[in-house]
Amino acid sequence: MRQSFDEHTKPSFGREHAPLIRQAMAAQGLDGFVIPHEDEHQNEYLPAANDRLAWATGFSGSAGAAVLFKDKAAVFVDGRYTLQVRDQVDPEVYEIRDLVDGGVPAYLQSEAKAGWKIGYDPRLVSPDALERLKTAAAQAGAAMQPVQGNPLDEAWGAERPPQPQAPVVPQPLDYTGEDSAAKRERIGKSLAAEGADAALITAPTGVAWLFNIRGGDVIRTPLPIAQAILDADGKAQLFLDPAKVTAELPAWLGNKVRLEPPSALGGALAELKGKRVLVDPALSSAWYFEALERAGATVVKGADPTVLSRACKNPVEIEGARRAHARDGAALARFLAWVKTEAARTLPDELEVVRRLEAEREATGALKDLSFDTIAGAGANGAIVHYHPSRRMARRLELGSLLLVDSGGQYLDGTTDVTRTLAIGYPTSEMRDRFTRVLKGNLALARVRFPAGTTGSSLDALARLSLWSAGLDFDHGTGHGVGSYLGVHEGPQRISKVPNTVALRPGMIVSNEPGYYKEGGYGIRIENLQVVTEPAPIPGGEREMLGFETLTLSPIDRDLVDPALLSPEEIDQLDAYHARVLEMIGPQVDPETRAWLETACAPLSRAA
Amino acid sequence: MRQSFDEHTKPSFGREHAPLIRQAMAAQGLDGFVIPHEDEHQNEYLPAANDRLAWATGFSGSAGAAVLFKDKAAVFVDGRYTLQVRDQVDPEVYEIRDLVDGGVPAYLQSEAKAGWKIGYDPRLVSPDALERLKTAAAQAGAAMQPVQGNPLDEAWGAERPPQPQAPVVPQPLDYTGEDSAAKRERIGKSLAAEGADAALITAPTGVAWLFNIRGGDVIRTPLPIAQAILDADGKAQLFLDPAKVTAELPAWLGNKVRLEPPSALGGALAELKGKRVLVDPALSSAWYFEALERAGATVVKGADPTVLSRACKNPVEIEGARRAHARDGAALARFLAWVKTEAARTLPDELEVVRRLEAEREATGALKDLSFDTIAGAGANGAIVHYHPSRRMARRLELGSLLLVDSGGQYLDGTTDVTRTLAIGYPTSEMRDRFTRVLKGNLALARVRFPAGTTGSSLDALARLSLWSAGLDFDHGTGHGVGSYLGVHEGPQRISKVPNTVALRPGMIVSNEPGYYKEGGYGIRIENLQVVTEPAPIPGGEREMLGFETLTLSPIDRDLVDPALLSPEEIDQLDAYHARVLEMIGPQVDPETRAWLETACAPLSRAA
């Protein structure tokens, strides 16, 4: 078992830990302290040792922040976590606020008092975020003050888990499709073209991609915690805990990469005096900027040069993604057949559902890790976006309800992420109406053709139109980027209402996951991963158009589809998808599963 | 006749005037000089006295820039003007470049030489644009240098037309729906809430709206060139040329508004010492910022506080817009009947078409001005986006071709902007296919319901989907804001691929104008104005949704519609629109026009 159902936090954390942090704050003369979710590496998933927000508040979500003043405190979460936070955080210790609407800056501006000193850890805050905090504090007459020692870390003390030291291994060319030396030369040239002498790569994902290495320091993602300096000539220094360096690593990295311990980073930055150094203000904390400025280097603020290259998968990576999805789809088919036949009779609880799915993925023999903790939301739990089953919260399946399962696997050849919503027994007509509207959105976003330069912001509404027209919507983004045996959430592309200037480019993998959530009732989400295809002509047209190839291969529950709501074009599209699922997955599964799959993939048009 | 067909510029302008400007540059020791299209007031339409770009280059479009180096020069235009610029500018004097892709900064960065001094007029450049110019010049080792006297103005000399002095008149409450004192108090309070003591309003549109006044200094827009300082308590100073002050104006403005001549502005800014003053860096030139900083005021950069209030029309303004569109629609119906019957036999030229439409609008007795020079593009001229007929370019109508007419009127109760594309004789099946796809986009954007917080960027793709799916697109935005007897293009809302963070709000008027252009062949555009409606419930839904009410009342040419490409829902939508047009416009027109209108508005569903 990889997934645990124990809760690592308790609502009492706030009451227990906030006083300890306030004590350490007071010792440093601070009137307030800002606690972001992000750690030193600006990762989404954190080593337990760095999940400061969870320890301070009890809130265990993947995004958020807290502010502790000497006399009051608040925790900030986004729309995904509004239900979870109420369950995990003691509202008498932390007022619950919206992370996006105003967020921390608005709280500082309205609640800080003139003359207050508000601490922040410069290793945890990006310079852009810091700028906003400073402006907000100044409007209240308060001042932001960098701390030397993090008062939360001091309060945490001996209870704090140790830093991870997972071995770092090569990721072979069969999976990456491009040699690290070639990547470094290509990225190095782009640095030179922009007038930079070097780039500081601080995001573990960027380091993993650039050097074709993988690690295990961060849960659910094969990331090595490491930093690098890449010179414009393709040479590099890689800062990595010696305890994590495996025997094969030095030869794999070659003689143009100097391995250094993390303690050498400060000295290496100091040696960049007089150089023009590119640093990404969205991915690197304020500490790096300050260190470079102290060293006398010229900081060039710009996007991490590995980000766009990493996002646009090469043919080898795309082929790997197809293989990973075919393998994952077979495991999922066995699981879905079990849910729709056996589980619909025995009505197990969510934990059993999660265990069964994990066992099917394990049985592929290729699973390196889950790509995130499986969400199995039965009935009302399905309406809690980003819910994870726990012993305390888990519900049993019930007839006449829905089961939402969002899951994924990390394989050497690709990362998967798929959501299916299943009717247990007979669904209501409302459930079928809502499900079909979500499906219409998913289909629209799968079939769209669009010109070069189009961003995910321009396409987001396609996934919502059929819900909007019925007075419905969902409160999360429609799609996120996905890595190649890397992060299951990776930028810079996304499909969202939020303005985004990054155009979708061939090779980018994005999720397509509209949903609908009825609080206290049920949740619906349909999620496929899809890869952006090369621009191609359309007969009779004038401009080549990009499009999507759906990678995920798993049947959509026909019990939840109301064909009367679909156009003939949509029915054809769904039937063609199901035919492809059967063709790709059928040969991989046992006869019993295959028989189920044939029914599950039967054309709707035959029924209509 | 209001519209002239004479060209005010000649391609020889570049060859004649560039040497004169270079001479004046040299006298100031400048190696280069930047010439934006914008004037001192950052207006879209300029008084002839301020159209420096046209005088320097010959290019007469409504957006662009030029850079004159001592040894080379370039003119910069956007996608709308790529054909026009080739016609108007001598390419041996000015290299033609893209305004958006790199634009002026990229040119400075790649073409300026180290040590060069590049002049700019701080009254003509916004601080944000200036920052980009400075960064680009610095990368080339050159420096931007503010000029005291504009070398172009010196070169222009006695030939330059005088500044306009049109009388400034009250705009009655019947049309504005809100008293100026109430507006000033409301906006003043919002200033105080943001911690500002005053706002500097430099955009003539903002001044016109805030004080409920109109003028005539700028062609096609009832704008008074004026500036104002609004205090947080609602008191104001209005800087206005005394020659423009009409007898009724002082009483209309009341005793809380101090009228001052423009020459008093510098002194008034100096008096803001120690105050926190809001200025909009998108609407106010760098000169204002520098003047306030010299005065010792604290500049607060923020959106002009009148912009959002002005964009959200109140019930009186919306009712005015409906009246203006009903009146304009009747004039347009008479014009369209003439085109489809008489002109389709006599095949007049574009100038005759423009004159006829203007005469119909004049005949309403309510026309204050055109809202822009009418675009009447016959055949291949229709493919030139933002083409304006001239004696030299005008084409005659031809059988088997299309005529695109984009026009609008300024009425006291509203500003109109409408485009109709008409078949002259029998259209080809390609024309009908393209037209119907454009129509599908227009209908999709008219019927969409959407939640609060949705921006125009999220809706833009709806107008393009049917084109994209056929490998087609159009290279301009889908919609712009429109004023209430003010600018025909006004922000902050727009419907465009370009990311935009301004949500659509009830009362905002936007255009809905997808198109298709076949270079050398024909142009298609269908444009209606529509107003954002209040959030309203949808039966069976959970969330209130905003939507649009179409203001424009004018038939869509059924000869160009291929019903086979429309869904039953789209046919119903078009039929319902036509029924409304007939109901509203029919009673206003003569029996002959009415007979034509009845045929033009007949339901498609009957034919299909």
Its ipTM equals: 0.90
Among candidates B455, B468, B544 on the partner chain, residue whose Cβ is nearest the Cβ of A545? B468
Q: Which residues pair with A169 in a beta bridge?
A: A214
Quick check: B565 and B440 in contact, CB under 8 A? yes
B342: which DSSP letter?
A: I
Using an 8 Å CB-CB cutoff, list chain B residues near A445.
none
Chain B: residue whose CA lies nearest to A460: B458
* Residue A67 structure tokens: 């502010």
Greatest Cα pair distance in chain A = 74
Distance CA A47, CA A166 (A): 11
**Separation between Cα atoms, residue B317 and residue B442, nearest integer Å:** 24
Q: Which residues of B touch A (CB under 8 A)?
A: 139, 195, 448-451, 453-455, 457-462, 465, 468-473, 497, 499-501, 537-545, 567
- Taking the C-alpha atoms of residue A168 and residue A248, their distance in angstroms, rounded to an integer, is 9
Q: What is the mean pLDDT of residues A7-13?
A: 90
Collect all residues of chain B within an 8 Å Cβ-Cβ radius of residue A503.
none
In sequence order, the 6+-apart residues with CB closer than 8 A to the CB of A265 are A227, A239
Cα atoms in the 13 Å half-sphere on the side-chain side of A588: 22
Closest-CA residue of A relative to B194 is A139
**Order of strands across the sheet that contains B418-424:** B375-378, B401-407, B418-424
DSSP for A154-207, please give it: HHHGGGSPPPP---BEE--HHHH-S-HHHHHHHHHHHHHHTT-SEEEE--HHHH
Distance from CA of B456 to the nearest CA of A (A): 9
Q: What does the alpha-carbon distance between residue A513 and residue A349 come to, in Å, rounded to a whole number?
A: 25
Of the candidates A450, A459, A501, the beta carbon closest to that of B499 is on A501
Average pLDDT, chain A: 95
Question: Residue A197 has which token pair?
Answer: 């002498």
**Residues B413, B509 contacting (CB under 8 angstroms):** no
C-alpha B481/C-alpha B493 separation (Å) is 6
User: Could you give phi then psi for residue A39, rounded to 5 degrees?
Assistant: -105, -165
Question: What's this model's pTM, rounded to 2 decimal places?
Answer: 0.91
Of A453, A499, A539, the CB nearest to B457: A499
d(CA B453, nearest CA chain A) in Å: 9
B516, β-bridge pairs: B524
Say which of A449, A455, A461 has its CB closest to residue B469.
A449
Dist. CA B113–CA B125, nearest whole Å = 22
pLDDT in tens, A204-254: 999 999 999 999 998 899 999 999 999 999 999 999 999 999 999 999 999
Optimal mutation site among A469, A475, A478, A533, interface B, most CBs of chain B within 10 A: A469
Interface probe for A, chosen from B467, B469, B493, B495 (most Cβ of A below 10 Å), is B469
The CB density around residue A29, as the number of other CB atoms within 10 Å, is 9
For residue A471, give the nearest of B470, B471, B540 by CB distance. Answer: B540
Q: What is the DSSP string of B496-514?
A: SSS----B--TTBEEEE--
Q: What is the mean pLDDT of residues A528-542?
A: 97
CB contact under 8 A, B497 and A544: no
Distance CA A482, CA A498 (A): 18
State how far the Cα of B494 lies from the Cα of B476, in Å rounded to an integer. Answer: 12
Name the residue among B322, B307, B278 with its Cα closest to residue B209. Answer: B307
Contacts of A472 in chain B (CB under 8 A): 541-543
Chain A: which residues have CB within 8 Å of chain B?
A: 139, 195, 448-451, 453-455, 457-462, 465, 468-473, 497, 499-501, 537-545, 567
Record: contact A450-B460, CB cut-off 8 A:
no
User: At A558, is the secondary structure helix, strand, or coil?
Assistant: helix
Q: In terms of Cα–Cα distance, which of B173, B175, B206, B161 is closest to B43?
A: B206
Tell me if B471 and A139 make a contact (CB, 8 A cut-off). Answer: no
User: How deeply is B493 buried, as exposed, middle or buried, from its count of CB atoms within 10 A (0-12, 13-18, 19+)?
Assistant: buried
Contact criterion met (CB < 8 Å) for B461 and A454? yes
Confidence of residue A605 (pLDDT cuts 50, 70, 90): confident
Minimum mean pLDDT among A279-283, A376-380, A557-561, B464-468: which range?
Answer: A279-283
Task: Judge whether A435 and A421 are in contact, CB under 8 Å.
Answer: yes
> B458: which chain A residues are within 8 Å (Cβ-Cβ)?
457-458, 460-461, 497
Q: CB B473 to CB A501 under 8 A?
A: no
Query: Is the CB of B501 less than 8 angstroms away from the CB of A500?
Result: no
Judging contacts by C-beta atoms under 8 Å, the chain B residues touching residue A453 are 497
Residue pointed to by tokens 């004049």: B362
CA dist list (Å): A81 to A63, A86, A97, A252, B536: 9, 9, 11, 42, 27
CB contact under 8 A, B499 and A497: no
CA distance A154 to A152: 5
Does residue A607 surpass a pLDDT of 60? no
Q: How far apart are the first and last CA of chain B?
A: 43
Residue-level length of chain B: 608
Query: What SS3 string covers A323-387?
Result: HHHHHHHHHHHHHHHHHHHHHHHHCCEHHHHHHHHHHHHHCCCCCCEECCCCEEEEHHHHHCCCC
Whether the per-residue pLDDT at A35 is higher than 50: the answer is: yes
Q: Where does the pLDDT of residue A608 fall: very low under 50, low under 70, confident under 90, or very high at 90 and above? A: very low
Contact (CB<8Å) A469/B449: yes
Cα separation, A590 vs A593, in Å, equals 5
Q: Cα separation of A286 and A284, whole Å?
A: 7
Q: What is the mean pLDDT of each run of 10 residues along chain B (608 residues)?
A: 84 96 97 95 84 96 94 92 90 95 93 96 92 92 94 95 94 98 97 93 96 94 95 97 96 97 95 96 92 94 95 98 98 98 96 97 97 96 87 92 98 98 98 98 98 97 98 96 96 92 97 97 98 97 98 98 96 98 98 98 76
Query: Is B540 within 8 Å of A470 when comparing Cβ atoms?
Result: yes
With bands split at pLDDT 50, 70 and 90, how would you rate the model's confidence at A606?
low
Q: Do B449 and A458 touch (CB under 8 A)?
A: no
Q: Tell me the nearest-neighbour CA distance from B186 into chain A, angstroms.
A: 22
Give the Cα separation of B209 and B307 in Å (integer): 9
How many angstroms separate the most distant Cα atoms in chain B? 74
pLDDT in tens, A487-520: 999 989 999 999 888 999 999 999 999 999 999 9
What are residue B415's phi and psi, to 5 degrees?
Answer: -115, 130
